[in-house]
Structure 1
Amino acid sequence: MNKQASQPRAIYYVVALQIWEYFSFYGMRALLILYLTNRLHYDDAHAYGLFSAYCSLVYVTPILGGFLADKLLGNRMAVMLGAFLMALGHLVLGASEIAPTFLYLSLAIIVCGYGLFKSNISCLLGELYQPDDPRRDGGFSLLYAAGNIGSIVAPIACGYVQEEYSWAMGFALAAIGMVAGLIIFLCGKRHFAHTAGVNRAALRARTAALPNWGWLLVLLVAAPLLVTVLFWQEWAVYALIVATAIGLAVLVKIFRQAQTPQQRKALGLIVTLTAFSLLFWAFAQQGGSSISLYIDRFVNRDMFGYSVPTAMFQSVNAFAVMLCGVVLAWLVKGRAGGNRSVRIWGKFALGLGLMSAGFCILTLSARWSAAYGHSSMPLMIAGLAVMGFAELFIDPVAMSQITRIEIPGVTGVLTGIYMLLSGAIANYLAGVIADQTSQSAFDAAGAIGYSINAYIGVFSEIAWGALGCVALALLIWLYQALRYRRHPLAPAS
C-alpha cells in the first residue's frame, strides 16, 4: 500500500466514535415515539409535540457547541464531553417510567450532548489533514459511510432488545453503544496529540466575577435544566423563534456583504434551495413519528411466525440511502457537463418527485389497511426505501452549493443557517403535520376507522404537496435550461 495515500491512523478512532454515536442516537430515536405512546400512554398529540421539540432542538444546540469548542474546549474535548452526556441521557431515559421529569431531563441532556458532539466531530476530522491534503475528501466520505452503518444497525438491535426484554434495556443498549465508542476513542489518544486541546489560558481568564472555567461549569449544569423546562412547559417553539430570528438577521447581513451580482445570485439560489429543503424534510421526518405509529398500528409485521418490532423499520431508510448512494455515485461518475443550475434543479425535482412517490405508496398502504384491517410489510418497505433514495438529491446538492459560495468567511455560517431551517424548523413543522393524524384532531365519530382515515388524508396531502414542489422546481429548471441555451457561456448562478 502507498503510505502517502493511506489515511492517518487517528481517523479510525474518529470513525469508530461516529458509528457508535449514530448507533446511540438513532437507536433511541427509533424507540422514542413508540415509548411515549405505548409505554407512557401519551396521546398522539402530546407525543408528536414532544418528539418534534426534541428533534428540533438537537439542531439548535450545535451552534453553541461549536462556539465552546472554538473558544475554550477544542474539538477533541468537546466531542468527548458530548459523547459522555449523550450516554448519560440515554441511561436517565430508562428511568423515565418512574416520573415524567426524568423523561424531560434525559432528552435535555441528550440535546446538550448532541450539540457538543455533532458540530465538532467533523471539525476534529478536519484537523487531521493539512489544507491541501488530497486524502481529506476520502476521510469525510469514510466518516459519512460510517454514520450510515450505525444508523442501519441501531434500530434493529435496540428494537430487538426492547421487544425481547424492556424499554429500559433498549435505551440502555443505546447508552452502552455510546460508551463503547468513547472508550475506543480514548484508546487512540496518542494519535490526536497534534490536534488542538483545551485552551487553558482562555479557561483561566476571568469574565465578570468568575474564571471562564467556572462559567463553563455553570453552563453545563444550567443548559440541561433550561432545556428540561422548555420540554416540560412546551416552550421549545419560542427557542426556535429566537434562533430563527437571529439566523435570518445574519443572513441579511451576509447579503449586504455580497459585492457582485454573481455573489447575490449564488446567495439567492442557496436561500431558495433551503426553502425547498425545509419542506422536503418536514415531509421526510414523518418517518420517526406518524409513519412509525402507522406501522405499529396498521401494518402486518408477522414474518415466519415472528413479529418484526416496529423500530426495526427505521433501518430501511438508512439502508436505502447507503445502497442507492453507492449506485448513484457509480452512475454519475464523470458526468458533470452542462450548466450547474440546471443540474441542481433537475436533482431537486427528482428528489421531491421520489418523496411524492414514496407517500403515494404509503397512501396506497393506508387505503389497503382501511379495506382489509392491515397492510403488507413489503409495500411499507418499498415506500420507505423510495423516500430514503429521495434524500440523496436534496442535502448533498444544497451543501455542495453552499461550499461553492465565493464570499469569504461565510461558508460555516450559511451551513449553520441551512441546518437550522432544514433541521430545526423542518422538524417542528413535521410535528405539526404529524399531529393531523392524531385521534384528538377529530370528532369522537369512530375510533379506529377514523384513525386510519386520518393517515390516508395526511399521507395523500403530503404526496400532493411534494408534487406541487416538483412542479415549481421544474419551472425553475425549465427557466434555467432556456437561459443556458440562449447564453451558454454565462456564469452559473
Structure 2
Amino acid sequence: MNKQSSQPRAIYYIVALQIWEYFSFYGMRALLILYLTNQLKFDDTHAYALFSAYCSLVYVTPILGGYLADKVLGNRMAVMIGALLMALGHLVLGASEISPAFLYLSLAIIVCGYGLFKSNVSCLLGELYATDDPRRDGGFSLLYAAGNVGSIVAPIACGYVQQEYSWAMGFALAAIGMFAGLIIFMSGKRHFAHTTGVNKELLCSTKLMMPVWAWLLVLLITAPMLITLLFWKEWAVYALIAATVVGLAVLLRIYRQAETHEQRKSLQLIVVMTFFSLLFWAFAQQGGSSISLYIDRFVNRDVLGYAVPTAMFQSINAFAVMLCGIVLAWLVKEGVSGNRTVRLWGKFALGLGLMSAGFCILTLSAHWSAAHGQSSMPLMVLGLAVMGFAELFIDPVAMSQITRITIPGVTGVLTGIYMLLSGAIANYLAGVIADQTSQGEFDASGAINYSINAYIDVFSAITWGALACVGAVLVIWLYQTLKVRARGVTA
C-alpha cells in the first residue's frame, strides 16, 4: 500500500479513544434522566432542570479547555486529563445514591473532563497532518464514524447492565469504557512524539506570585467545586447568560471589523442559521429527557416476554444518523450549479420539516397511548429514526458555511459561538420545554400518575413549532431564489 494513501498510525489510537469516549458519555446520558426520576425519586421538574443544566454546561467548558490546551497543556495532555476526569466522574456518579452531593460533584467532574477532551481531540487529530495533506478529510470522517459506533452501542450495553444488575453497574460500565479507551490511547504514545507537548517553560514560569502549574492545580480543584455549586443551587442559567453575553459581544466585534459587504452578508447568514439551529436542537434534545420518560411510562416495550430497557432507545437516533449519512454520501453528489445560499436554506427547510414529521409521529403515538393505555414500540422507533435523519441537514450545513467565511482568524471563534448557542442555550430551552410534560396527579396511595395529555400537548406544540420554522425558512429560500433569478446569477 502507498504510504501516502494510508492514514498515520496515531489516528487509530485516537479513534479507539473516541469510540470509548462516546460510549462513556452517551451510555451515562441514556441512563441519567431515568436514574434521577426512577431511582433518586426526583420530581420531573427537578430532574429536567438538572439534566438540561448538565447538557448545557458541557458545551461551555470546551471554550476554556481549548484555551488551556493552546497555551499550556497541548492537545495530547489535555485529552488524557479530560478522559481521566470523565472516567472518575462516572465512578463517583455510581455513589450518588448515598448523598446528592456525590450526584452534583460527579456531573461537575464529567463537565470539566468533557471540556478538556471535546475541544481538543479533533485538534490533536489535525496535528497528524500537514496543512495540504489529502488524507486529512478521510481522517476526520473516520473519527466521526467512530463516535457514532460508540453512541450506538453505549445505550444498549449500559441499559442492559443497569436493568439486569444495578444503576451503579450501568454507570461503572461507562467508566470502564473510558478507562479502556485511555489505556489504549496511552499505549500508542510513541506515535504522538511529533505533536505539541506540554509548554514546560510556561508551566514553570511565575504568574501573580505563583507558578503556572500551581494555578492549574487550583483550577483543577476549584472548577468542579464551582460547577457543583451551580448544579446544587440551580445557578447554571446565570453561567449560561454570562457566556452568551460574552459570545454575542465577540460576534458583534467581528461584525464591526468585517471589511467588505460580502463578509457582513456571510456573518448575517451564519447568525440566522444559528437561530434556527438553536430552535432545532431545543426540539431534538427532548430525546434524552421528555421523550425518554414518555417511553418509560407509556410505550409497550415488551418483545417476546423481554422488557426492552428504555435507555436502549437512545441508540436509534445515532443509528439513523450513521445509516442515513452513509446513504446520503453515496446518493447525493454536490453539484456546482445553483446558488449555494439557496441550497443551504433548502437543506435547513428539509431538516426542520423532518423534525416536525418526527414529532408528528410521536404525537400520534401519545394519542394511541391515551386511547389504549400504551403505544406500540415500532411507532416510537419510526419517530426517533426520522428525528435522527433530520440532524444531517442542520449542523453539517451550518458548520460548512462557517468554515467558508473569508474573515481571517475567526473560524474557531465562530464555531465556539455556534456551539454555545445551538448546544448550551438550546439544551437549557429543551429543559424548559420538557418541564411542560411534568404535570401529574397523586393517587390514593401517594404515587404520582403523570398526564399523557401533557405529552400530547408538548409533542403537538413542537410539531407545529418546527413546521412554523419550515415556513420561515421557505420564505427566506424563496426570497433568495427570486433575488438570484432577478440578477441572472448561477454560481
Asked if TM exceeds 0.5, the reply is yes
Q: Is the 8 A contact 1:40 1:97 kept in 2?
A: yes
Q: Is the 8 A contact 1:28 1:174 kept in 2?
A: yes
Residues 25-424 of structure 1 correspond to what in structure 2 (within 5 A)? 25-424=25-424
Deviation at residue 4 of structure 1 after TM alignment = 1.2
- Distance, in Å, in 2 between the alignment partners of 1:305 and 1:209 is 67
Deviation at residue 447 of structure 1 after TM alignment = 8.7
Deviation at residue 487 of structure 1 after TM alignment = 1.6
Query: 1:24-77, CA deviations, whole angstroms, 9 ceiling, x for partnerless residues?
Result: 000000000000000000000000000000000000000000000000000000
The verdict on how the C-alpha distance between 1:173 and 1:81 changes in structure 2, with shifts beyond 3 A counting, is same
Q: Does the residue aligned with 2:420 lie in a helix, a strand or coil? A: helix
Deviation at residue 304 of structure 1 after TM alignment = 1.1
Deviation at residue 135 of structure 1 after TM alignment = 0.4
Q: Which amino acid aligns with 1:200?
A: K
- Distance, in Å, in 1 between the alignment partners of 2:277 and 2:12 is 32
Q: Is the 8 A contact 2:356 2:467 kept in 1?
A: yes
Q: Which amino acid aligns with 1:403?
A: T
Q: Does the residue aligned with 1:330 lie in a helix, a strand or coil? A: helix
Residues 7-26 of structure 1 correspond to what in structure 2 (within 5 A)? 7-26=7-26
Query: 1:369-388, CA deviations, whole angstroms, 9 ceiling, x for partnerless residues?
Result: 00000000000000000000
- Distance, in Å, in 2 between the alignment partners of 1:47 and 1:411 is 36
Q: Does the residue aligned with 1:95 lie in a helix, a strand or coil? A: coil
Deviation at residue 474 of structure 1 after TM alignment = 0.4
Q: Is the 8 A contact 1:439 1:447 kept in 2?
A: no
Query: 1:84-138, CA deviations, whole angstroms, 9 ceiling, x for partnerless residues?
Result: 0000000000000000000000000000000000000000000000000000000
- Distance, in Å, in 2 between the alignment partners of 1:444 and 1:235 is 33
Q: Does the residue aligned with 2:196 lie in a helix, a strand or coil? A: coil
- Distance, in Å, in 2 between the alignment partners of 1:300 and 1:2 is 53
2:428 maps to what in 1?
428
Q: Which amino acid aligns with 2:407?
A: I
Q: Which amino acid aligns with 2:482?
A: L
Q: Which amino acid aligns with 2:166?
A: S
- Distance, in Å, in 2 between the alignment partners of 1:432 and 1:482 is 38
Of stretches 444-453 and 264-273 in structure 1, the one that deviates more from structure 2 is 444-453
Q: Is the 8 A contact 2:278 2:422 kept in 1?
A: yes
Of stretches 221-230 and 327-336 in structure 1, the one that deviates more from structure 2 is 327-336
Query: 1:275-325, CA deviations, whole angstroms, 9 ceiling, x for partnerless residues?
Result: 000000000000000000000000000001110000000000000000000
- Distance, in Å, in 2 between the alignment partners of 1:192 and 1:451 is 55
Query: 1:143-192, CA deviations, whole angstroms, 9 ceiling, x for partnerless residues?
Result: 00000000000000000000000000000000000000000000100000
The verdict on how the C-alpha distance between 1:92 and 1:352 changes in structure 2, with shifts beyond 3 A counting, is same
Q: Is the 8 A contact 2:442 2:449 kept in 1?
A: no
2:463 maps to what in 1?
463
Q: Which runs of 5+ in 2 are unaligned?
A: none
Deviation at residue 334 of structure 1 after TM alignment = 4.2
- Distance, in Å, in 2 between the alignment partners of 1:133 and 1:251 is 31
Q: Is the 8 A contact 1:79 1:117 kept in 2?
A: yes
- Distance, in Å, in 1 between the alignment partners of 2:450 and 2:121 is 46
Q: Which runs of 5+ in 1 are unaligned?
A: none
1:474 maps to what in 2?
474
Q: Does the residue aligned with 1:198 lie in a helix, a strand or coil? A: coil
- Distance, in Å, in 2 between the alignment partners of 1:382 and 1:207 is 57
Q: Is the 8 A contact 2:301 2:377 kept in 1?
A: yes
Identity, % of aligned positions: 81
The verdict on how the C-alpha distance between 1:449 and 1:159 changes in structure 2, with shifts beyond 3 A counting, is closer
- Distance, in Å, in 2 between the alignment partners of 1:473 and 1:334 is 21
Q: Which amino acid aligns with 2:435?
A: D
Q: Which amino acid aligns with 2:461?
A: E
Deviation at residue 336 of structure 1 after TM alignment = 4.0
Q: Is the 8 A contact 2:283 2:462 kept in 1?
A: yes
- Distance, in Å, in 1 between the alignment partners of 2:418 and 2:27 is 25
Q: TM-score, normalised by structure 2?
A: 0.98
- Distance, in Å, in 1 between the alignment partners of 2:336 and 2:81 is 42
- Distance, in Å, in 1 between the alignment partners of 2:395 and 2:57 is 19
The verdict on how the C-alpha distance between 1:264 and 1:14 changes in structure 2, with shifts beyond 3 A counting, is same
Deviation at residue 209 of structure 1 after TM alignment = 1.6
Q: Is the 8 A contact 1:359 1:383 kept in 2?
A: yes
Query: 1:383-426, CA deviations, whole angstroms, 9 ceiling, x for partnerless residues?
Result: 00000000000000000000000000000000000000000000
Q: Is the 8 A contact 2:316 2:381 kept in 1?
A: yes
Q: Which amino acid aligns with 2:58?
A: V
Q: Is the 8 A contact 1:370 1:449 kept in 2?
A: no
Q: Which amino acid aligns with 1:333?
A: K
Deviation at residue 329 of structure 1 after TM alignment = 1.0
- Distance, in Å, in 2 between the alignment partners of 1:336 and 1:21 is 37
RMSD: 1.5
Q: TM-score, normalised by structure 1?
A: 0.98
Q: Is the 8 A contact 2:107 2:228 kept in 1?
A: yes
- Distance, in Å, in 2 between the alignment partners of 1:450 and 1:285 is 21
Query: 1:450-476, CA deviations, whole angstroms, 9 ceiling, x for partnerless residues?
Result: 610000000000000000000000000
- Aligned residues between the structures: 490
Deviation at residue 443 of structure 1 after TM alignment = 10
- Distance, in Å, in 2 between the alignment partners of 1:489 and 1:280 is 31
- Distance, in Å, in 2 between the alignment partners of 1:421 and 1:444 is 41
- Distance, in Å, in 2 between the alignment partners of 1:392 and 1:11 is 25
